[in-house]
Structure 1
Amino acid sequence: MSALVLARSASLLNGQAPTTATPGIVTLNFNAAVLATGEAQRDLGTLQTKFAPREVQLQKLSDSVEAERMQLNDASVKLSESERAAKLQDLNTKDKQLQREAEDFKNDSQSESQQIFQRIAQKLYGLLQDYSKQHGYSVVIERGTDSSPIVWYVGNSVDITEQVAKAYDLKSGISSSSLPEKPTPGGGAAGTQTKPHTAQQKPQ
């Protein structure tokens, strides 16, 4: 019988609970930790506010295109051939404008959100190194998400995603609990969004 087993047996006989050692291997959802920080929520909220007017304009243009399309398809609306041709040309012009502006909106918003994500990810990566050393972890494994897990099962006691995000907030001085409520999204035109792309990324 090993000394470790004897020691554990002795502690149980004496009515003492066995000491729980710090796990050497822990897991982390890195993207979730980045997005959970107060800094990310603050900066992405500011970005959403910045792009809100463009989103509203896109929604208005989308509504206008849809209204004109419905009018052209309405058999009860009597139009001459020249009127129908003119309205069809106007509709095609607006539809192309909508597609172009929606694509620009998507590219611009995703580009800026990625810059925010990458900037915070670099700092959180550095903090993770110090945090892991301070807590005596041997390995930190990417956990993945519930829909795309990398580790099939993880006990709550060995996942440090929330703790790392809170440690980052403590260091940055920006807590998510102190931030104002998120602004209500403006429109919701098809194909437009200001949420960051959160595919797994390694800080550069």
Structure 2
Amino acid sequence: MKKALFMAVVFTLVLSATAYAEPKIGIVNIQAAVLNSDYGKEIAKSMQQKFEPMQKELEKEAAEIKKLEDELKNQNVALKLEARQDRQREFRRKIRDHQDSLVAFRQKVQAESEKQRQPILERVIKVIDEYGKSNGYTVIIESTNNIVYAADGVDVTKDIVNSLNKLKKAGK
């Protein structure tokens, strides 16, 4: 509700400021622009190279846990009580360690992703600003702000991706 009220106020201000001029409004999906640009593809490749060994190690741990679980089920009757309890404690410890490793892995991936995306987001904002000014837009809105309808040609995401790719090829 607050977003809708805020958007209504913004549109009112924009429209009143340009009462005699035809407003030109565009929308852009910044996340899609980043992901589909050459910059975003480079980040994805870098992240995969950096974290793939950790991912494989986590998958190996999960396979070991599954194997231990199967052994516990199959040998449960044959083992003495004390040996069974030792195996169950080892199993619970491995699960706990694996869960801790997963949480740490996800945090590292998230932190690295944020670190690598920040400079690109700054470029995206600069490109959107330049694009808006050079193409006479009154306002360009990020499309995740609950846009219910937009006419064809209002979404400028592809143009932003093209501009970003040109910037990347120019070495900037």
Q: What band does the TM-score fall into relative to the shorter chain?
A: 0.7 to 0.9
TM-score (norm 2): 0.79
Which residue does 1:150 correspond to in 2?
146
Whole-angstrom distance in 2 between the partners of 1:171 and 1:131? 13
Distance 1:59 1:33 in 2: 32
Distance 2:95 2:24 in 1: 57
Alpha carbons 1:142, 1:150 under 8 Å: kept:
no
**In 1: Cα distance, 2:97 partner to 2:76 partner:** 28
Alignment check: 8 A CA contact 1:71 1:77 kept? no
Where does 1:3-152 land on structure 2 (aligned, <5 Å)?
24-74=24-74, 78-144=78-144, 150-152=146-148
Instruction: Note the 1:125-204 alignment, pairs <5 A.
Output: 125-144=125-144, 150-173=146-169
Per-residue deviation, residues 120-144 of structure 1 (Å, max 9, x unmatched): 0111101111111111111111222
Listed one character per residue, the Cα deviations across residues 72-101 of structure 1 (whole Å, up to 9, x for unaligned) are 233775111122122112112211110111
The CA RMSD over aligned residues, in Å, is: 1.9
Higher helix share goes to which structure?
2
Contact conserved, 1:44 with 1:116, CA < 8 A, in 2? no
Q: 1:35 to 1:73 in 2, by over 3 A?
A: same
- Tell me the CA shift for residue 150 of structure 1: 1.4
The answer to whether the 8 A contact 2:28-2:141 is kept is: yes
State which drifts further: 100-109 or 153-162: 153-162
Q: Is the 8 A contact 1:27 1:160 kept in 2?
A: yes
AA aligned opposite 2:168: S
Which residue identity does 2:158 align to in structure 1?
E
Q: Which SS does the other structure have where 1:69 is aligned?
A: helix
Q: Deviations over 1:6-53 (max 9, x none)?
A: xxxxxxxxxxxxxxxx97111111111122110111122111111011
Distance in 2 of aligned mates of 1:171 and 1:23: 28
Q: What is the alpha-carbon distance in structure 2 between the residues aligned to residue 151 and residue 82 of structure 1?
A: 62
% identical equivalent positions? 24
The structure-2 alpha-carbon separation of the partners of 1:73 and 1:151, relative to structure 1 and needing over 3 Å to count, comes to same
* CA deviation after TM superposition for structure 1 residue 171, in Å: 1.1
Report the TM-score, using the length of structure 1 for normalisation.
0.68
